[in-house]
């Protein structure tokens, strides 16, 4: 490492210091198993990214996206070797996952001339009216009237709680095949797209069997429906490939991919859409936001892509992810309350008996130097373990031993 690539701890608001995978709060050090808000994917202080951001701050902070289109195009070309081969166009005009998903909905509707958007039970696609409307986590909408007129929710590949009462291996992926029935009976028959998180994040870290992707793709091809992969959580290395759609979920072959969160590396907001070239249908004025594709966001995006490559982050995710998963399975053998260990790469989780246990567990975890996050609603008994992608195997062992201590306390 040159002196400029040695990570320096970053002092934040008076009480906080971010240092790699660690967040120090009033002098106390925590392993951040939530990677910020699942966005600080390269840790708090990735030096090359921070330096490049400083460099940009010395130049110009805002330019209208009208003037940054060619920079976006360069970054898209930079990303291209890591994208599915059929992806040939981009729309980098957003700073949030919600915004990118809204863009994807618009793209699907405009390109197909059809209205309906299918999504999965328990899915989460954002906080705006439209994206909350297409999200399958209805409990979030209890206090609001959020019409997304053309939204249809369908059962997803949640094998542990199969909607159809099937068991994996003998179900023939009924949840993907039954899409056909929903097109016929639950929608106006004018289906533009189905939007799926390749691994459902907030809905409980649900990992479908690989066959699900293949069968969903075949079904959508037969019905002429687009697939939008919401890779806001799974993108930029989280599952050990650049996108889940280029690794574990490659058979999904999505027509559209949305990204946000980890794309900013150290937490800079940047989001976008990737798609088949023929879906590049939006006019500038049809979808953008004031700060979309601003120079600072584009620097973060570019440097994140470079960092993932130059630091072999995908290899780290594979090795550290494997160690973490094996470690979680070992803990589950000792602690019977811990069940359902699951995950791909560094997107992992386990269940506790109830959501109250999860709240208690998270609080106990703090005493052992862990920041953990749960799924507090819906499948509220899930504890998510998603540290920054730069975590070393020694740090994974430390994390696991802290989890073991937390589990001991929890059992008392
Ligand atoms: N999609 C998924 C899968 C998400 O997890 C989230 C945020 N948790 C969003 C979309 C919305 O992203 P944002 O909060 O940046 O709008």
* Domain ranges (residues) in the chain: 55-310, 312-382+389-412
Residues 347-357 have pLDDT tens digits of 999 999 998 89
The mean-pLDDT minimum among 68-82, 92-106, 185-199, 267-281 falls in: 185-199
Residues 234-255 have pLDDT tens digits of 999 999 999 999 999 999 999 9
d(CA 302, CA 225) in angstroms, rounded, equals 32
Distance in Å, CA 202 to ligand 1 centroid? 9
- pLDDT value at residue 356: 87
Residue that wins the pLDDT comparison between 268 and 1: 268
Ligand 1 contact via 264 beta carbon (within 6 Å): no
Ligand 1 contact via 233 beta carbon (within 6 Å): yes
Distance in Å, CA 132 to ligand 1 centroid? 10
Going from the C-alpha of 182 to that of each of 16, 96, 155, 190, the distances in angstroms are 49, 30, 10, 11
Q: What is the mean pLDDT of residues 355-375?
A: 94
Question: Ligand 1 pocket: which of 125, 130, 132, 270 to mutate (most atoms <8 Å of CB)?
Answer: 125
Residues 24-44 have pLDDT tens digits of 999 999 999 999 999 999 999
Ligand 1 contact via 201 beta carbon (within 6 Å): yes
Contact 230, 272 (CB under 8 A): no
The mean-pLDDT minimum among 9-13, 285-289, 332-336 falls in: 9-13
User: What percentage of residues in the chain have a pLDDT greater than 90?
Assistant: 85
Confidence of residue 5 (pLDDT cuts 50, 70, 90): low
d(CA 214, CA 192) in angstroms, rounded, equals 19
Residue that wins the pLDDT comparison between 320 and 138: 320
- pLDDT value at residue 379: 56
- Mean confidence (pLDDT) of the chain: 94
- pLDDT value at residue 12: 62
- pLDDT value at residue 308: 98
Q: Is the pLDDT of residue 19 over 90?
A: yes
Listing DSSP states for 48-76 in one string gives HHHHHHHHHHTT-S---HHHHHHHHHHHH
Confidence of residue 4 (pLDDT cuts 50, 70, 90): low
CATH of domain 55-310: 3.40.640.10
DSSP 304: H
Residue that wins the pLDDT comparison between 2 and 199: 199
Contact 198, 249 (CB under 8 A): yes
Residues 280-311 have pLDDT tens digits of 999 999 999 999 999 999 999 999 999 999 99
Instruction: Report the 3 state secondary structure along 98-139.
Output: HHHHHHHHHHHHHHHCCCEEEEECCCCCCCCHHHHHHCCCHH
Ligand 1 atom at minimal distance to the Cα of residue 95: 15
Residue nearest to atom 12 of ligand 1 (CA): 97
Question: Ligand 1 pocket: which of 38, 41, 97 to mutate (most atoms <8 Å of CB)?
Answer: 97
Q: Is the pLDDT of residue 1 over 50?
A: no
Distance in Å, CA 383 to ligand 1 centroid? 18
Ligand 1 contact via 197 beta carbon (within 6 Å): yes
Residues 131-174 have pLDDT tens digits of 999 999 877 777 877 767 789 999 999 999 999 999 988 899 99
- pLDDT value at residue 88: 98
Ligand 1 contact via 205 beta carbon (within 6 Å): no
Distance in Å, CA 344 to ligand 1 centroid? 19
Question: Ligand 1 pocket: which of 261, 262, 300, 349 to mutate (most atoms <8 Å of CB)?
Answer: 261
Residues 119-143 have pLDDT tens digits of 999 999 999 999 999 999 877 777 8
Q: Is the pLDDT of residue 6 over 70?
A: no
Distance in Å, CA 125 to ligand 1 centroid? 6
Residues 100-112 have pLDDT tens digits of 999 999 999 999 9
Q: Is the pLDDT of residue 73 over 70?
A: yes
Ligand 1 contact via 202 beta carbon (within 6 Å): yes
Residue nearest to atom 13 of ligand 1 (CA): 97
Ligand 1 contact via 411 beta carbon (within 6 Å): no
Residue that wins the pLDDT comparison between 181 and 74: 74
Ligand 1 atom at minimal distance to the Cα of residue 37: 8
Q: Is the pLDDT of residue 273 over 60?
A: yes
Q: Is the pLDDT of residue 398 over 70?
A: yes
Question: Ligand 1 pocket: which of 37, 94, 124 to mutate (most atoms <8 Å of CB)?
Answer: 124
Whose tokens are 């999200």? That residue is: 135
CATH class name, domain 312-382+389-412: alpha beta
- Which pTM does this prediction carry? 0.96
H-type helices in 174-255, by residue range?
A: 174-177, 179-185, 210-223
Ligand 1 atom at minimal distance to the Cα of residue 126: 11
Ligand 1 atom at minimal distance to the Cα of residue 39: 15
Ligand 1 contact via 124 beta carbon (within 6 Å): yes
């Amino acid at each position: 490492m040159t002196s400029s690539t040695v990570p320096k701890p970053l002092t934040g608001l008076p009480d906080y210091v971010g240092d790699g995978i660690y967040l120090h709060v009033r002098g106390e050090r925590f392993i951040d198993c939530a990677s910020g808000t699942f966005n600080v994917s390269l840790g708090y202080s990735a030096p090359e990214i921070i330096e490049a951001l400083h460099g940009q701050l010395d130049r110009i902070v805002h330019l209208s996206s009208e003037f940054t289109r060619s920079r976006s195009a360069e970054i898209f070309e930079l990303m291209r070797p890591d994208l599915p081969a059929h992806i040939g166009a981009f729309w980098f005009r957003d700073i949030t996952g919600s915004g990118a998903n809204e863009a994807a909905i618009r793209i699907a509707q405009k390109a197909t001339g059809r209205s309906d958007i299918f999504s999965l039970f328990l899915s989460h696609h954002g906080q705006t009216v439209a994206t909350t409307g297409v999200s399958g986590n209805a409990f979030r909408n209890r206090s609001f009237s959020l019409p997304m007129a053309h939204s249809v929710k369908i059962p997803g590949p949640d094998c542990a709680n199969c909607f159809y009462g099937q068991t994996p291996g003998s179900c023939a992926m009924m949840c993907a095949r039954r899409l056909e029935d929903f097109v016929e009976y639950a929608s106006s028959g004018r289906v533009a797209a189905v939007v799926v998180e390749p691994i459902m994040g907030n809905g409980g870290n649900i990992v479908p069997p690989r066959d699900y992707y293949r069968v969903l793709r075949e079904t959508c091809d037969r019905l002429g429906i687009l697939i939008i992969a919401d890779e806001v959580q799974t993108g930029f290395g989280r599952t050990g490939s650049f996108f889940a759609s280029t690794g574990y979920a490659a058979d999904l072959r999505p027509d559209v991919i949305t990204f946000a969160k980890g794309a900013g590396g150290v937490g800079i907001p940047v989001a976008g859409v990737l798609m088949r070239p023929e879906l590049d249908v939006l006019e500038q004025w049809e979808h953008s936001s004031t700060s979309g594709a601003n120079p600072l966001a584009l620097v973060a995006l570019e440097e994140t892509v470079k960092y993932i490559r130059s630091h072999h982050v995908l290899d780290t995710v594979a090795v550290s992810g494997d160690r973490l998963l094996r470690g979680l399975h070992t803990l589950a053998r000792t602690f019977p309350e811990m069940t359902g260990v699951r995950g791909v790469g560094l997107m992992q989780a386990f269940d506790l008996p109830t959501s109250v246990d999860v709240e208690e567990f998270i609080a106990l975890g703090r005493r052992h130097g862990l920041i953990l996050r749960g799924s507090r609603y819906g499948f509220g008994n899930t504890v998510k373990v998603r540290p920054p992608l730069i975590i070393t195997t020694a740090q994974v062992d430390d994390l696991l031993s802290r989890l073991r201590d937390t589990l001991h306390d929890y059992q008392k």
